[in-house]
Amino acid sequence: MTTPNPLTNTISGNRGLQIEEPLIFEMDAPGRSGVDLPAVPQHKERLGGLKRKSEVGLPGLGESQVVRHYTKLSQKNYAIDMSVYPLGSCTMKHNPRLNEKIARLNGIADLHPMQPVSTVQGALEVIDTLAHWLKTLTGMPAVAMSPAAGAHGELCGMLTIRAAHLAKGNARKRILVPESAHGTNPATAASIGYEVDPVPADDRGRVDLAAFKAKLGPDVAGTMITNPNTCGLFENDIIDIADAVHGAGGYFYCDGANFNAIVGRVRPGDLGVDAMHINLHKTFSTPHGGGGPGAGPVVLSEALAPYAPLPYVTHGKNGFDLVEQDDSGKAFGRLKGFHGQMGMFTRALSYILSHGADGLRQVSGDAVLNANYLQASLRGDLSAAFPGTCMHEALFNDDFLEGTNVTTLDFAKAMIDEGYHPMTMYFPLVVHGALLMEPTETESKTDLDRYIEVVQGLARRAKGGDATYFQGAPYHTPRRRLDETLAARQPILRWKPEQAKKAAE
């Protein structure tokens, strides 16, 4: 680039260390290579007719260019290893390095899912021990380990529920889902053919029990309820809800994504839950799977256990065994080719064993304490969505921005210039202009205080009439306000060479 970038007024397009970085394909210099591979003599070629007839299309780059490219990209990332990551509902928590060390042990990292069972007894024991802990902590008799993420766990639980109803001769039609539900809940129910019937929230941010009961009927297959819910609140009527849905012949699917707020204190099995997924990344500190490859095991009640998917681990005569066939004919099928994410299982078990039962209880206590510290500290400057204390996340509405001409989005963008990842915005939908913050248990008071100071400062600046500043934020990023709607509707997921782009026009 030789003409100054109009935005930065620099030749390079960079601003200080905010380095512009092209796509790796745009850096292509044909003929350049990081490795010299020997030519294969013709008589040694074994591909015959399968031999590639055209170029692979990989960009030509030297090794140092590749290293720099990926190092620069890695520096563009905001990560929990850099600072507070207050994204509510996502639980961006510290992943202890001990977990990583254990998961990288050769005997674990080098496993292959097709190894004979006799050679992977230790791995099966890891799965079985983790399953034991999950069942014990939730008070549930069975667990399906193979789902690859929370949403995949929802699919597993709902397919189990449908299989149980089908065994009685009728899959039923409707699933009751609160309006405050995570988007994956209605999407899961709809994806397997259920009609989603929304249940309103009451003015306490909980499921409206009367409205819930009024919707029950013989065509209701069950309900999907998150507890603690997406407003960061415990559903106080949860036992009444469970009893009511059971009374109508339905099942209770609990979205257990927020189990990190109650682990070691509440056993969902005691509340009447029939199926519940656990996001291992949220409660047991495995890396985020981004919809997979992660792990979202699903604990199941006695009533649903026979319909659980294959495969599962059992104790056989000669040690552990992986059950691949279902003789009863009840299992609904498979969710994955194999048994699930071994890397995640190992990390989660490492986390559980290094904390023990008391340590896990303290984890949930600290998560709730930190969220309440945040809520109480910010209450004077922001507007809390509901009165009283919260569980693991603090929810604010946009009342505090009224009359300022600053929106929740503007406020969140200004956080970026302060060096923080914004909080979750506009979710849950039941709260106007929502700002949802989840500090997690691993943040120190010092780091929380710094974060609080920044949010307070911004709130005061917004109220002081500095709307133009907020509307232009962020200022210190390589890109500023992107067209999010266009990005969601017409994402460009693949680079194409100029000729291909032209040909497609």
Ligand X SMILES: Cc1ncc(COP(=O)(O)O)c(C=O)c1O
Supply the minimum distance, in Å, between the C-beta of residue 288 and ligand X: 7
Indicate the residue whose CB is closest to ligand X: 150
Tell me, rounded to whole angstroms, the distance of Cα 194 from its chain centroid.
23
- Determine, following the binding rule CB under 6 A, whether residue 316 of this chain makes contact with ligand X: no
CB atoms within 10 A of CB 426: 16
- Determine, following the binding rule CB under 6 A, whether residue 207 of this chain makes contact with ligand X: no
- Determine, following the binding rule CB under 6 A, whether residue 350 of this chain makes contact with ligand X: no
The DSSP 8-state label assigned to residue 310 in this structure reads B
- Determine, following the binding rule CB under 6 A, whether residue 296 of this chain makes contact with ligand X: yes
Return the exposure string of 335-368: e unless at least 16 CB atoms fall within 10 Å of the residue's CB, then b: bbeebbbbbbbbbbbbbbeebeeeebbebbbbbb
Name the residue nearer to ligand X (CB basis): 160 or 279. 279
Closest to 279 (Cα-Cα) out of 263, 261, 295 = 295
Tell me, rounded to whole angstroms, the distance of Cα 245 from its chain centroid.
28
- Determine, following the binding rule CB under 6 A, whether residue 227 of this chain makes contact with ligand X: no
Name the residue nearer to ligand X (CB basis): 21 or 255. 255
Q: Which of 80, 87, 90, 156 binds ligand X (CB under 6 A)?
A: 90
Name the residue nearer to ligand X (CB basis): 223 or 226. 226
Closest to 339 (Cα-Cα) out of 120, 142, 122, 144 = 144
- Determine, following the binding rule CB under 6 A, whether residue 223 of this chain makes contact with ligand X: no
Supply the minimum distance, in Å, between the C-beta of residue 396 and ligand X: 18
Closest to 221 (Cα-Cα) out of 245, 188, 192 = 245
Stretch that binds ligand X, among 117-125, 147-155, 301-309, 362-370 (CB under 6 A): 147-155
- Determine, following the binding rule CB under 6 A, whether residue 241 of this chain makes contact with ligand X: no
Q: Which of 291, 359, 457, 465 binds ligand X (CB under 6 A)?
A: 291
Q: Any idea what the Cα angle at residue 389 is, between residues 451 and 434, rounded to 5°?
A: 60
- Determine, following the binding rule CB under 6 A, whether residue 230 of this chain makes contact with ligand X: yes
Q: Which of 13, 147, 150, 272 binds ligand X (CB under 6 A)?
A: 150
Stretch that binds ligand X, among 144-152, 244-252, 348-356, 408-416 (CB under 6 A): 144-152
Q: Which of 99, 279, 301, 383 binds ligand X (CB under 6 A)?
A: 279
- Determine, following the binding rule CB under 6 A, whether residue 151 of this chain makes contact with ligand X: yes
Characterize the bridge pairing of strands 435-437 and 424-425. Answer: antiparallel
Contact 68, 24 (CB under 8 A): no
Which pairs count as long-range contacts for 464-472, CB under 8 Å and 24+ apart, including other chains? 465/404, 467/404, 467/405, 467/406, 467/410, 469/414, 470/406, 470/410, 470/411, 470/413, 470/414, 471/405, 471/406, 471/410
Stretch that binds ligand X, among 289-297, 324-332, 348-356, 412-420 (CB under 6 A): 289-297
Supply the minimum distance, in Å, between the C-beta of residue 481 and ligand X: 25
How far is it, in rounded angstroms, from Cα 113 to Cα 336?
12
CB atoms within 10 A of CB 20: 15
Name the residue nearer to ligand X (CB basis): 114 or 488. 488
- Determine, following the binding rule CB under 6 A, whether residue 257 of this chain makes contact with ligand X: yes
Contacts of 73 (CB under 8 A, 6+ apart): 21
Q: Which of 95, 226, 377, 404 binds ligand X (CB under 6 A)?
A: 226
Q: Which of 21, 197, 255, 274 binds ligand X (CB under 6 A)?
A: 255
Supply the minimum distance, in Å, between the C-beta of residue 73 and ligand X: 23
Stretch that binds ligand X, among 44-52, 132-140, 148-156, 397-405 (CB under 6 A): 148-156
- Determine, following the binding rule CB under 6 A, whether residue 149 of this chain makes contact with ligand X: yes
- Determine, following the binding rule CB under 6 A, whether residue 435 of this chain makes contact with ligand X: no
- State the binding string over 179-198 for ligand X (x if CB under 6 A, else -): ---x-x--------------
Report in angstroms the alpha-carbon separations of 448 from 22, 296, 317, 454: 36, 29, 53, 10
Stretch that binds ligand X, among 158-166, 234-242, 287-295, 380-388 (CB under 6 A): 287-295
Helix (H) or strand (E) holding 162: helix 150-167
How far is it, in rounded angstroms, from Cα 140 to Cα 458?
45
- Determine, following the binding rule CB under 6 A, whether residue 294 of this chain makes contact with ligand X: yes
Give DSSP secondary structure letters for 397-421.
EGGGGTTTT--HHHHHHHHHHTT-P
Supply the minimum distance, in Å, between the C-beta of residue 150 and ligand X: 2
- Determine, following the binding rule CB under 6 A, whether residue 260 of this chain makes contact with ligand X: no
- State the binding string over 480-499 for ligand X (x if CB under 6 A, else -): --------------------
Half-sphere exposure (Cβ direction) of 203: Cα atoms closer than 13 Å: 0
Contact 398, 407 (CB under 8 A): yes
Report in angstroms the alpha-carbon separations of 179 from 71, 185, 206, 426: 42, 10, 10, 14
Contacts with ligand X by CB under 6 A lie at: 89-90, 149-151, 182, 184, 226, 230, 255, 257, 279, 289, 291, 294, 296
